[in-house]
Structure 1
Amino acid sequence: MLEHIDAVTLARAQFAFTVSFHFIFPSFSIGLASFLMVLEAQWLRTGDATYKILYRYWLKIFAVAFGMGVVSGIVLSYQIGTNWSVFSAKAGPIVGPLMAYEVLTAFFLEAGFLGVMLFGEGKVGKELHFLATCMVALGTLISTTWIISVNSWMQTPVGFLINAHGQFVPAGSWLTIIFNPSFPYRLVHTVIAAYLTTALVVGGVGGYHLLRTPGDAGVRRMFSMAMWMMALLTPLQILAGDAHGLNTLKYQPAKVLAMEGDYDPSPHGAPLVLFGLPSNAEARVRYKLEIPRIGSLILRHDPNASLPGLKDFPRSQWAPVPIVFWSFRIMVGLGFAMLGLGLASLFARWRGRLYEARLIHWGAMLMGPAGFVAVIAGWVTTEVGRQPYTVFGYLLTAHSHSPLAAPAVAASLVAFVIVYFAVFGAGIFYVLRLMAARPMPGEQGPPSIPQHAAGVTPAPALDADHSLPGALQ
């Protein structure tokens, strides 16, 4: 089957597979690092041991997720060079330095403090350990900033010239390139999505354990914190998504029209197409269910405003509309489901029944993976909607790939699928096992290197306040 597909399509499928696998780990660890920072800050502020139990519980999970994210991310760097060498050669003078800045700032910051965060408790002071946690959380955000800057520049390229060799080279200030037109919107949207993903996982784990042990103080606290995040951040994400959509309409109108399924121009107000079956071949949405003028109200904030259609653009510039159309609806649909969960938790909290509302606990548990699905759907919307370009408006995807034969790309794609599902599947299974056990008094963080391995006589394990773990019981 794969031998009948061209090399470009196979290379795109391979990159989509590996980056989707990678994306689920940073989208979780970005928010989880900040959650750990809050937990440790609360423990230091209040002295309440429940926060320390939760910190140690989630620190073990963070360590595994962070490790899998690093390993899966390294693969992407090699893949860009092997499968997309033309893109690397042409866009390298801009993309390369931005990626290097990510390593020199964020990665070194995370790597420098990660060991102290994971294994330094009881070996360094409380303040230094908290500083390490803060630095790791900051590092994840800085890393996100550089990666989003690179991706945003590919979506809305500015501040460059094309030299005689066809390369994109900086022209003027690097700040113009870094803070390109879509960067602020994309960064806010991505960071909030990461926090919501973490809140859904924490809330899902909390809901699972509340159904089994409703009186556990640690479980109640992490569930309450997750539901506060859901209730507060989901409305902000909807507003950020609206602003991001308006920005995309300005700089990438064909992408927004593909998301909306608007093939025909709408001079007197565009409808909102809720569902249907888009067809690029027929240039229409079959069996569509639509609401008149609401599309213009959302995109122009005026129900009577005119909107172009995809037919106003050459067919060669159309993205695969069915993929973009449905991935966008999956993302938006899950966003409103998150809003519903957050509002339901507020209502239950107001009634004083947050920890007894089993329906909300079931909803939180079932919604646990929803953040991962939403961020992948959003990534598909963004990247597939940019087609047929890698650097929007300038470098076609068909002109960006390496001169590889289709069978070679197909073989590596099959190898990636097998290895990824085996290795990362095992890692995800281990994380789920960690989550299946509820936080317990005396909870221990990631195990450190055994002291006897270094020729040191083992000493009793001490808690952070230099007492035995049993003191928490």
Structure 2
Amino acid sequence: MFGLEALDLARMQFAFTVSFHILFPAITIGLASFLAVLEGLWLKTHEAAYRDLYHFWSKIFAVNFGMGVVSGLVMAYEFGTNWGGFSDFAGAITGPLLTYEVLTAFFLEAGFLGVMLFGWNRVGRGLHFFSTVMVAIGTLISTFWILASNSWMQTPQGYQIVDGRVIPVDWLAVIFNPSFPYRLAHMAIAAFVATAFFVGASAAWHLLRGRDNPAVRKMFSMAMWMALIVAPVQAFVGDMHGLNTLEHQPAKIAAIEGHWDNVPGEPSPLILFGWPDMQAEKTRFAVEVPYLGSLILTHSLDRQIPALKTFPPEDRPNSTIVFWSFRVMVGLGLLMIAVGVFSAWLRWRGKLYSCKPFLYLALYMGPAGLIALLAGWFTTEIGRQPWVVYGLMRTAHASSNHDAVQMSITLGLFVVVYFSLFGVGFSYMMRLVRKGPVTHEGTHQPHGGPGQPRTPARPLSASHDTQEA
């Protein structure tokens, strides 16, 4: 296929499937916590808007959760079919970590998900709220184990190599490896930020179409508060993660910065833009800011950042890709911070819900968090190359013995099936978003609550003219 080898096609296939998959868990993590907050606020204040928002977003959560489960199962099989060398080498560590994720997180989510989605009128308020909270906690526990596994591949420790295989000798060291706390915080916050902008875009869409009601206003207000508070926190966590990466994966930092040489005794500049050329070993058209590279990456003016030429060519990540994926992530992150600050100013002016230019901006920023999340994953995974387990196993030694024809066929099938299946799912989810929350402010309908008579919510069905609470 286009002159690519089987290894290249296997990497493309996994990159394609994981890129699809990661979008769904990100929204699942954020929406689960959002639903727990909404139900908690409804129980405390008894404001109908919170209840209406809960029912609205629980339907979207259910569809998104289902697509996340399906896409995740495919990736689990790929470890065995396409990456047999990796499974044989590191399965003693990654296998149990993924098993812990199923036992402690997925079972927890699945156990309480049915009560959360279908038990609104069948169990007491306390039990229903507890179920929602357990689902939210389950998504975070799942993130914990997945990130523990991925982080160990980035900064492995707590192991011995026996007969060509990795054997765990200290599970606490395996799990709490040097990069794990930073990756866990960075990913969890990214999920919250991405969900906030997804929710905010939905609210902006309805406000622009004249659906100005308490539920939509609360939805937009809560999203903008999240943007204002959490996006700057993400920048701080990202800086800490960068310092950790500089310590443990210096080649990745050099590739991200497109930095090839250091002048003895001089601080490193920051290359804002340019085109890293891996063959010529230089960054073409570089726009540099003197001293700023050292200041940002080492927090000093007398230390230099690593240079790519200090690493053997076979150990260098592809700087051309990670240089730009990192800048996409950072650029969108700065823009999201700006949106949060602008929303605070409009809130103070009393124009948060009426400023059309800002509503359009919030609408167009809807996918920004997800795009930034994908760009971040491209940076961290491609920046790890040429290693699948950093410093221990090269990606070239991790793949199964398939030929290019087999990998081309399966890659083509994945592309067709994924766009068909998840395209339908995504379209249906957007249909739910466009319908918006059904509000019952000022009506005399008995809406009840958990444990009280009412028509059950139907998370997996979209209504037409009416929609039960």
Q: TM-score range by the shorter chain?
A: over 0.9
Q: Give the aligned partner of residue 463 of structure 1.
A: 448
Per the TM alignment, residue 359 of structure 1 is displaced from its structure 2 partner at its CA by 1.5
Q: What CA distance in whole angstroms lies between the structure 1 residues aligned with 2:120 and 2:289?
A: 57
Structure 2 counterpart SS, 1:440: coil
Question: Which residues in structure 2 correspond to 1:309-320 (within 5 Å)?
Answer: 309-320=307-318
Q: Which consecutive unaligned segments of at least 5 residues does structure 1 have?
A: 444-459
Q: What CA distance in whole angstroms lies between the structure 1 residues aligned with 2:190 and 2:286?
A: 29
Q: What CA distance in whole angstroms lies between the structure 1 residues aligned with 2:38 and 2:30?
A: 12
Residue type of the partner of 1:86? G
Question: Which residues in structure 2 correspond to 1:187-226 (within 5 Å)?
Answer: 187-213=184-210, 215-226=212-223
Q: Give the aligned partner of residue 426 of structure 1.
A: 424
Aligned CA RMSD, in angstroms, stands at: 1.7
Residue type of the partner of 1:250? E
Matched, 1:329 2:327: yes
CA 1:102–1:139: 2 relative to 1, 3 Å: same
Residue type of the partner of 1:90? F
Structure 1 counterpart SS, 2:347: helix
Q: What CA distance in whole angstroms lies between the structure 1 residues aligned with 2:132 and 2:203?
A: 23
Q: What CA distance in whole angstroms lies between the structure 1 residues aligned with 2:19 and 2:211?
A: 35
CA 1:311–1:122: 2 relative to 1, 3 Å: same
Structure with bigger RCO (C-alpha 8 Å, 6+ apart)? 2
CA 1:122–1:303: 2 relative to 1, 3 Å: same
Q: Give the aligned partner of residue 447 of structure 1.
A: none
Q: Give the aligned partner of residue 460 of structure 2.
A: none
Q: What CA distance in whole angstroms lies between the structure 2 residues aligned with 1:138 and 1:308?
A: 39
Q: Give the aligned partner of residue 26 of structure 2.
A: 27
Counterpart of 2:403 (choices 402, 405, 413) is 405
Residue type of the partner of 1:94? I
CA 1:77–1:461: 2 relative to 1, 3 Å: farther
Q: Give the aligned partner of residue 236 of structure 1.
A: 233
Q: Give the aligned partner of residue 43 of structure 2.
A: 44
Matched, 1:74 2:59: no
Per the TM alignment, residue 467 of structure 1 is displaced from its structure 2 partner at its CA by 5.5
Q: Give the aligned partner of residue 449 of structure 1.
A: none
Q: What CA distance in whole angstroms lies between the structure 2 residues aligned with 1:199 and 1:350?
A: 20
Matched, 1:87 2:86: yes
Question: Which residues in structure 2 correspond to 1:336-351 (within 5 Å)?
Answer: 336-351=334-349
CA 1:442–1:349: 2 relative to 1, 3 Å: closer
Q: What CA distance in whole angstroms lies between the structure 2 residues aligned with 1:252 and 1:67?
A: 36
Structure 1 contact 266–309 (Cα < 8 Å) conserved: no
The C-alpha deviation readout for 1:295-341, integer Å capped at 9, x for no partner, is 00001111332223010111110011111000000000000010010
Residue type of the partner of 1:238? A
Deviates more, 1:264-273 or 1:225-234: 264-273
Per the TM alignment, residue 442 of structure 1 is displaced from its structure 2 partner at its CA by 5.2
Q: What CA distance in whole angstroms lies between the structure 2 residues aligned with 1:462 and 1:98?
A: 44
Q: What CA distance in whole angstroms lies between the structure 1 residues aligned with 2:304 and 2:425?
A: 50
Question: Which residues in structure 2 correspond to 1:21-420 (within 5 Å)?
Answer: 21-164=20-163, 166-171=164-169, 173-213=170-210, 215-267=212-264, 268-420=266-418
Q: What CA distance in whole angstroms lies between the structure 2 residues aligned with 1:121 and 1:75?
A: 32
Q: What CA distance in whole angstroms lies between the structure 2 residues aligned with 1:214 and 1:18?
A: 37
Q: What CA distance in whole angstroms lies between the structure 2 residues aligned with 1:62 and 1:213?
A: 25
Structure 1 contact 3–407 (Cα < 8 Å) conserved: no
CA 1:422–1:442: 2 relative to 1, 3 Å: farther
What is the TM-score when the length of structure 1 is the normalising length? Answer: 0.94
Residue type of the partner of 2:369? G
Residue type of the partner of 2:189? I
Q: Give the aligned partner of residue 436 of structure 2.
A: 438
Per the TM alignment, residue 104 of structure 1 is displaced from its structure 2 partner at its CA by 0.6
Q: What CA distance in whole angstroms lies between the structure 2 residues aligned with 1:413 and 1:87?
A: 20
Per the TM alignment, residue 80 of structure 1 is displaced from its structure 2 partner at its CA by 0.9
Q: What CA distance in whole angstroms lies between the structure 1 residues aligned with 2:446 and 2:11?
A: 50
Residue type of the partner of 2:330? V
The C-alpha deviation readout for 1:151-197, integer Å capped at 9, x for no partner, is 00000000101001x100012x2101000000000000000000000
What is the TM-score when the length of structure 2 is the normalising length? Answer: 0.94
Quote the sequence identity (%). 53
Structure 1 counterpart SS, 2:174: helix
Q: What CA distance in whole angstroms lies between the structure 2 residues aligned with 1:314 and 1:52?
A: 59
CA 1:286–1:3: 2 relative to 1, 3 Å: closer
Residue type of the partner of 1:316? E
Per the TM alignment, residue 3 of structure 1 is displaced from its structure 2 partner at its CA by 5.4
Q: What CA distance in whole angstroms lies between the structure 2 residues aligned with 1:360 and 1:384?
A: 35
Q: Which consecutive unaligned segments of at least 5 residues does structure 2 have?
A: 456-465
Matched, 1:14 2:24: no
Alignment length, in residue pairs?
454
Structure 1 contact 389–396 (Cα < 8 Å) conserved: yes
Structure 1 counterpart SS, 2:335: helix
